[in-house]
C-alpha cells in the first residue's frame, strides 16, 4: 500500500539540499563577519558558500551602476579600491544618530550624507545615501538567499543576534534591517545567550558560566546560569568599542612606523604616521586600508605562527614588512587589558567569584589568539572551553532558538531569560530618579509604583521616563516625556498615580499611568531616539560607581528641601486657618523656626535643614495639639465629622508623603 509520492517544486524554487523541520534560521549579524545556521536533523549547522566557507564578511560595496556586492570580494578587492563606497563594520553605526556616529566615522573613510538628523546615511557611489539599516539589510539578504537555496523555499523566520549591551535604539535598528531584508524577525537574541544555548544543549551543561565574546568590533561578557533547561543571564557587561578592529589599528600603527623608515617618500604613509593614523583624503584612506588589511592578515597568521610578513605598495615601490608574534602581542596588550574591568564588574553584578564558575565559553574570532586565551585563563583562573568553533557558536545557538520558536522539536519548552542592561525609572520632585526596574532584572518583567501630587490643586502629572544608574534624572538618559491631565484639583498628596513599566522579551519598554481616583489613563511605547553610544552606557555605569557618594548627598539634600517646603507651607496655612488658636509665644516661636528654616534651606547642608525642620515641628507642637483638640471636640459634638476626617486624612497623607521621601534613599 506504500505509495511513492513524488515531490513537485514550485517554479523558480531551488531543490532543497536539506530537510529541516522548520524553515527558521539563526543569524549572527556580526560587525566583521556574519553567519546563518539552521537545525538539520536536530543538530545546528552553519550554511556555507560554494567554497565551503560559512563566513560572510560584513562588508557591502555600492557601485556607481547601482550594483551591490557583499562579502569577501567587497572586503578584499573592492574596499581597497573604493574605500568610501564600501561600508565595513556598519554595526558600529546601528541605531546611532549622525552626531553620535561622527566620532566613529572619523576613524573611517566614509562620508555622511545630510539627512533629517536622526539617522546616519552613508554617501556612496551613484549619488546614493544609504542608512546603516539598509547596509545591514544587504548582508541579511545574502544570508537569506543562501538559506532559501539550501532549504528550498521562503523562510519561516529568523532569530538575529545582537550584543548584550545594545540599547533599545540599536535593537530597533537591527529589527528594521531584518524587515528591510524581507525577514520575519522572530526574536532578537543576545549573542552570549545564543552561545550558551549552543553549549548548554550540546553538553547538557548545568551551573554558572561566563561568556567571553571578543569579536571584530564589540566585547561582551555575560554571566549565565544554566539550570533545568533554563538559561538565565545573571549580568552583562562589556565595551562596544573594543575588538579585533582595535587590535588591527594598534598593529597598523606599529606597521606605519616601520613603513615610514622603509618608504620615506610615501606621502600618505608619512602623513598617517605623523598624525596618528588620521585619514584626511582618498589616497591616504586607501593607504590606511591597505595597512589595516595587512595588520589583520598578519594578526590572524600569528595565531598559528611566530612571525609573519606582508607586501605593501608604496610610492617608493613594493615594501615587505615583517612582524613577530611578540611584537604584535606588545602592541595589542593595552587594548586587551581593557577587557578586565568589565569582566570584574559582571562577576560582581552577578554576585559570583570566578572560582565558583562552572566554565568560561569563548566566542568571537579574536579569542583564537593565544594571547587572548592566556589572558582569559589568567583573568578567570581556569582554562576556557573551546569545543565549539568560536566563530560559529553564536549562529548555532540562534538556529536552535529559531527552531524552538518556530515550533520545531528541539527542546521546544526551552525558556530563555535575559536582563535589563540599565535601570529604568521616573523623575520625581526635585529631579530625583525613582527606579522602577533595576539593572539586571530578568525580562520580560514589570513593576508598578504609586506616586502622589506635590502641590495643592495639581491637575496634571508630567512623567519623565529615564534610563541609567545615577540618582538624578539629568544625569540619566531621557527616554520619553508624557503628561497625564484632567485630574480634579485635590490637596497635595491626595491624588494617587499608579505607574506601570513593562519590559518585553526583546527588551522594549512600555509605560502606563493611571490616576486612581479618576481612573484616567495614558500609555506610551517607549522608543528611544537614536542617540546614546554604548561608551555612554559604559560611562554612565562607571560614573554611577564613582559618584555614588556624591549622588546620595545630592539626593538627601533635594529631599530635605522638599520636606522643608512642605512643612513650612503647612505651618503657614495652619496659622492662617486658625489664628484664634495661636498664642503670642507660639507665633514668635513658629516665626523664628520658619526664619531659621528659610536661612538653611538654600545651603547645601542637609543635616542643618533636617534640624531646622525638627525645630519647626517642635515650635508648632502646642499649636498643632490645640488644632487637633478643637477638631476632635467638633467631631464629638457630631458636627462636621466628614470635614474632620478629611483633615486628619490629609495630615496622614502628608506624613506618608514625607515618609516615602525618606524610604527612597536606599
Residue 57 binds: one of ligand ADP, Mg ion, none (C-beta under 5 to 8 A by kind):
none
Of residues 163 and 493, the one with the C-beta less far from Mg ion = 163
Of residues 300 and 536, the one with the C-beta less far from ligand ADP = 300
Which helix (H) or strand (E) covers residue 56, if one does?
strand 56-57
Residue 161 Cβ, how far from ligand ADP at the closest point, in Å?
9
Of residues 218 and 475, the one with the C-beta less far from ligand ADP = 218
Residue pair 432/455 in contact (Cβ under 8 Å)? The answer is: no
Residue 246 Cβ, how far from Mg ion at the closest point, in Å?
14
- 365 near ligand ADP, judged by CB under 6 A: yes
Q: Which of 29, 33, 9 is nearest to 158 (CA)?
A: 29
Applying CB under 6 A, what is the total number of residues that bind ligand ADP? Answer: 21
Which span sits near ligand ADP by CB under 6 A: 28-36, 109-117, 505-513, 550-558?
A: 28-36
Q: Which of 26, 30, 342, 493 binds Mg ion (CB under 5 A)?
A: 30
Classify strands 157-162 and 24-29 as parallel, antiparallel or unpaired.
parallel
Which span sits near ligand ADP by CB under 6 A: 37-45, 100-108, 362-370, 646-654?
A: 362-370
Residue 408 binds: one of Mg ion, ligand ADP, none (C-beta under 5 to 8 A by kind):
none
- 397 near Mg ion, judged by CB under 5 A: no
Q: Which of 78, 170, 84, 187 is nearest to 132 (CA)?
A: 170
Of residues 40 and 391, the one with the C-beta less far from Mg ion = 391
Applying CB under 5 A, what is the total number of residues that bind Mg ion? Answer: 2
Which span sits near ligand ADP by CB under 6 A: 78-86, 360-368, 542-550, 574-582?
A: 360-368
Of residues 215 and 342, the one with the C-beta less far from Mg ion = 215
- 365 near Mg ion, judged by CB under 5 A: no
587-619 per-residue burial string, b: 16 or more CB within 10 A, e: under 16:
eebbeebbebbeebbeeeebebbbebbebbeeb
- 339 near ligand ADP, judged by CB under 6 A: no
- 54 near ligand ADP, judged by CB under 6 A: no
- Report how far residue 225's alpha carbon sits from residue 357's, in angstroms, rounded to the nearest whole number: 9
Measured distance between the N- and C-terminal CA atoms of the chain, rounded to whole angstroms:
75
Locate all alpha helices (DSSP H) within 314-460, ordered by sequence: 325-337, 340-350, 370-380, 393-405
Backbone angles phi, psi at 70, to 5 degrees: -125, 140
Locate all alpha helices (DSSP H) within 532-547, ordered by sequence: 534-546
C-alpha cell at 74: 567587497
Residue 586 binds: one of ligand ADP, Mg ion, none (C-beta under 5 to 8 A by kind):
none
**CB under 8 Å, gap of 24 or more: what pairs does 659-666 form?**
660/452, 661/559, 661/562, 661/563, 662/559, 664/432, 664/434, 664/559, 665/552, 665/555, 665/556, 665/559
Residue 75 binds: one of Mg ion, ligand ADP, none (C-beta under 5 to 8 A by kind):
none
Residue 661 binds: one of ligand ADP, Mg ion, none (C-beta under 5 to 8 A by kind):
none
Of residues 243 and 528, the one with the C-beta less far from ligand ADP = 243
Which helix (H) or strand (E) covers residue 237, if one does?
strand 230-239
- 366 near ligand ADP, judged by CB under 6 A: yes
- Report how far residue 554's alpha carbon sits from residue 430's, in angstroms, rounded to the nearest whole number: 10
Q: How far from 666 is each of 236, 435, 558, CA to CA, in Å?
A: 23, 11, 15
Residue 446 Cβ, how far from ligand ADP at the closest point, in Å?
32
Q: Which of 54, 152, 215, 654 binds Mg ion (CB under 5 A)?
A: 215
- 493 near Mg ion, judged by CB under 5 A: no
Classify strands 424-428 and 461-467 as parallel, antiparallel or unpaired.
antiparallel
Residue 296 binds: one of Mg ion, ligand ADP, none (C-beta under 5 to 8 A by kind):
ligand ADP
Q: How far from 422 is each of 167, 430, 511, CA to CA, in Å?
A: 9, 22, 16
Q: Angle at Cα 248 formed by Cα 279 and Cα 313, nearest 5°?
A: 60
C-alpha cell at 449: 509604583
* DSSP letter (8 states) at residue 429: G
> Is the four-CA dihedral 526, 529, 530, 535 of positive or negative sign?
negative
Residue 306 Cβ, how far from Mg ion at the closest point, in Å?
27
Residues 202-261 that bind ligand ADP (CB under 6 A): 215-218, 243-245
Q: Which of 25, 26, 27, 33 binds ligand ADP (CB under 6 A)?
A: 33
Which span sits near ligand ADP by CB under 6 A: 31-39, 93-101, 491-499, 519-527?
A: 31-39
Residue pair 497/461 in contact (Cβ under 8 Å)? The answer is: yes
Residues 6 or more apart whose CB falls under 8 angstroms from that of 227 comprise: 206, 207
Cell numbers 517554479: residue: 11
- 71 near Mg ion, judged by CB under 5 A: no
- 296 near ligand ADP, judged by CB under 6 A: yes
Helix (H, G, I), strand (E, B) or coil at 349: helix
Of residues 332 and 487, the one with the C-beta less far from ligand ADP = 332
Of residues 214 and 479, the one with the C-beta less far from ligand ADP = 214
Residue 105 binds: one of Mg ion, ligand ADP, none (C-beta under 5 to 8 A by kind):
none
- 342 near Mg ion, judged by CB under 5 A: no
Of residues 124 and 363, the one with the C-beta less far from Mg ion = 363
- 30 near ligand ADP, judged by CB under 6 A: yes
Residue 33 binds: one of Mg ion, ligand ADP, none (C-beta under 5 to 8 A by kind):
ligand ADP
Residue 300 binds: one of ligand ADP, Mg ion, none (C-beta under 5 to 8 A by kind):
ligand ADP
Residue 244 binds: one of ligand ADP, Mg ion, none (C-beta under 5 to 8 A by kind):
ligand ADP
Residue pair 208/357 in contact (Cβ under 8 Å)? The answer is: yes
- Report how far residue 230's alpha carbon sits from residue 226's, in angstroms, rounded to the nearest whole number: 6
- 243 near Mg ion, judged by CB under 5 A: no
- Chain residue at closest Cβ approach to ligand ADP: 244
Residue 69 Cβ, how far from Mg ion at the closest point, in Å?
22
x/- letters, 421..450, toward ligand ADP (CB under 6 A) = ------------------------------
Of residues 243 and 430, the one with the C-beta less far from ligand ADP = 243
Catalytic positions, written as ranges = 28, 91, 191, 213
Residue pair 517/490 in contact (Cβ under 8 Å)? The answer is: yes
- Report how far residue 409's alpha carbon sits from residue 387's, in angstroms, rounded to the nearest whole number: 24
- Report how far residue 442's alpha carbon sits from residue 225's, in angstroms, rounded to the nearest whole number: 12
- Note the residues at the interface with Mg ion (CB under 5 A): 30, 215
- Note the residues at the interface with ligand ADP (CB under 6 A): 30-33, 215-218, 243-245, 296, 299-300, 303, 364-366, 368-369, 391
Amino acid at each position: 500500500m506504500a505509495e511513492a509520492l513524488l515531490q513537485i517544486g514550485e517554479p523558480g524554487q531551488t531543490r532543497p539540499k536539506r530537510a529541516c523541520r522548520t524553515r527558521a534560521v539563526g543569524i549572527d549579524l556580526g560587525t566583521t563577519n556574519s553567519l546563518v545556521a539552521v537545525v538539520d536533523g536536530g543538530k545546528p549547522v552553519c550554511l556555507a558558500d560554494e567554497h565551503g566557507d560559512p563566513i560572510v564578511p560584513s562588508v557591502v560595496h555600492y557601485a556607481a551602476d547601482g550594483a551591490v556586492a557583499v562579502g569577501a570580494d567587497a572586503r578584499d578587492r573592492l574596499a581597497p579600491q573604493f574605500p568610501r563606497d564600501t561600508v565595513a563594520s556598519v554595526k558600529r553605526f546601528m541605531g546611532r544618530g549622525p552626531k553620535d556616529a561622527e566620532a566613529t566615522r572619523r576613524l573611517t573613510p566614509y562620508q555622511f550624507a545630510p539627512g533629517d538628523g536622526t539617522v546616519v546615511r552613508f554617501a556612496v557611489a551613484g549619488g546614493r545615501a544609504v542608512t546603516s539599516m539598509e547596509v545591514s539589510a544587504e548582508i541579511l539578504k545574502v544570508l537569506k538567499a543562501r538559506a532559501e537555496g539550501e532549504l528550498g523555499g521562503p523562510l519561516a523566520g529568523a532569530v538575529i543576534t545582537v550584543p548584550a549591551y545594545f540599547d533599545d535604539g540599536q535593537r530597533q535598528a537591527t529589527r528594521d534591517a531584518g524587515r528591510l531584508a524581507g525577514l520575519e524577525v522572530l526574536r532578537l537574541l543576545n549573542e552570549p545567550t545564543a552561545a550558551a544555548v549552543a553549549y548548554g544543549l550540546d553538553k547538557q551543561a548545568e551551573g554558572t558560566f561566563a561568556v567571553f565574546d571578543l569579536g571584530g568590533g564589540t566585547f561582551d561578557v555575560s554571566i549565565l546560569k544554566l539550570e533545568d533547561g533554563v538559561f538565565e543571564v545573571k549580568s552583562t557587561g562589556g565595551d562596544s568599542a573594543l575588538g579585533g578592529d582595535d587590535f588591527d589599528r594598534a598593529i597598523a600603527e606599529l606597521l606605519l612606523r616601520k613603513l615610514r623608515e622603509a618608504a620615506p617618500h610615501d606621502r600618505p604613509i608619512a602623513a598617517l604616521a605623523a598624525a596618528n593614523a588620521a585619514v584626511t583624503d582618498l589616497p591616504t584612506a586607501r593607504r590606511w586600508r591597505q595597512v589595516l588589511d595587512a595588520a589583520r592578515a598578519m594578526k590572524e597568521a600569528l595565531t598559528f605562527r611566530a612571525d609573519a610578513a606582508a607586501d605593501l605598495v608604496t610610492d617608493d615601490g613594493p615594501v615587505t614588512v615583517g612582524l613577530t608574534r611578540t611584537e604584535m602581542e606588545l602592541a595589542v596588550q593595552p587594548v586587551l587589558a581593557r577587557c578586565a574591568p568589565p569582566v570584574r564588574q559582571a562577576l560582581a553584578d552577578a554576585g559570583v567569584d570566578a572560582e565558583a564558575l562552572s566554565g568560561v565559553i569563548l566566542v568571537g574570532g579574536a579569542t583564537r589568539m593565544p594571547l587572548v586565551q592566556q589572558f582569559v585563563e589568567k583573568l578567570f583562573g581556569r582554562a576556557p572551553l573551546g569545543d565549539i568553533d568560536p566563530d560559529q557558536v553564536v549562529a548555532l545557538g540562534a538556529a536552535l532558538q529559531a527552531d524552538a520558536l518556530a515550533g520545531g522539536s528541539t527542546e521546544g519548552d526551552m525558556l530563555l531569560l535575559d536582563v535589563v542592561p540599565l535601570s529604568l525609572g521616573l523623575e520625581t520632585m526635585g529631579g530625583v530618579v525613582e527606579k522602577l526596574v533595576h539593572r539586571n532584572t530578568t525580562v520580560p518583567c514589570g513593576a508598578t509604583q504609586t506616586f502622589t501630587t506635590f502641590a495643592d490643586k495639581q491637575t496634571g502629572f508630567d512623567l519623565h521616563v529615564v534610563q541609567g544608574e545615577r540618582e538624578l534624572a539629568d544625569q540619566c538618559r531621557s527616554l520619553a516625556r508624557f503628561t497625564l491631565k484632567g485630574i480634579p484639583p485635590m490637596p497635595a498628596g491626595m491624588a494617587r498615580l499608579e505607574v506601570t513599566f513593562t519590559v518585553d522579551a526583546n527588551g522594549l519598554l512600555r509605560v502606563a499611568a493611571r490616576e486612581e481616583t479618576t481612573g484616567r489613563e495614558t500609555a506610551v511605547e517607549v522608543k528611544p531616539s537614536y542617540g546614546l553610544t554604548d561608551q555612554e552606557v559604559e560611562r554612565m555605569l562607571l560614573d554611577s560607581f564613582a559618584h555614588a557618594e556624591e549622588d546620595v548627598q545630592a539626593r538627601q539634600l533635594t529631599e530635605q528641601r522638599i520636606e522643608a517646603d512642605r512643612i513650612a507651607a503647612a505651618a503657614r496655612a495652619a496659622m492662617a486657618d486658625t489664628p484664634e488658636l495661636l498664642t503670642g509665644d507660639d507665633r514668635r516661636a513658629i516665626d523664628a523656626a520658619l526664619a531659621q528654616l528659610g536661612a538653611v534651606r538654600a545651603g547645601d547642608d542637609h543635616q542643618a535643614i533636617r534640624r531646622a525642620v525638627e525645630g519647626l515641628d517642635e515650635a508648632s507642637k502646642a499649636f498643632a495639639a490645640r488644632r487637633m483638640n478643637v477638631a476632635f471636640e467638633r467631631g464629638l459634638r457630631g458636627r462636621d465629622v466628614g470635614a474632620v476626617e478629611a483633615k486628619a486624612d490629609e495630615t496622614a497623607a502628608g506624613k506618608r508623603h514625607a515618609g516615602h521621601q525618606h524610604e527612597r534613599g536606599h
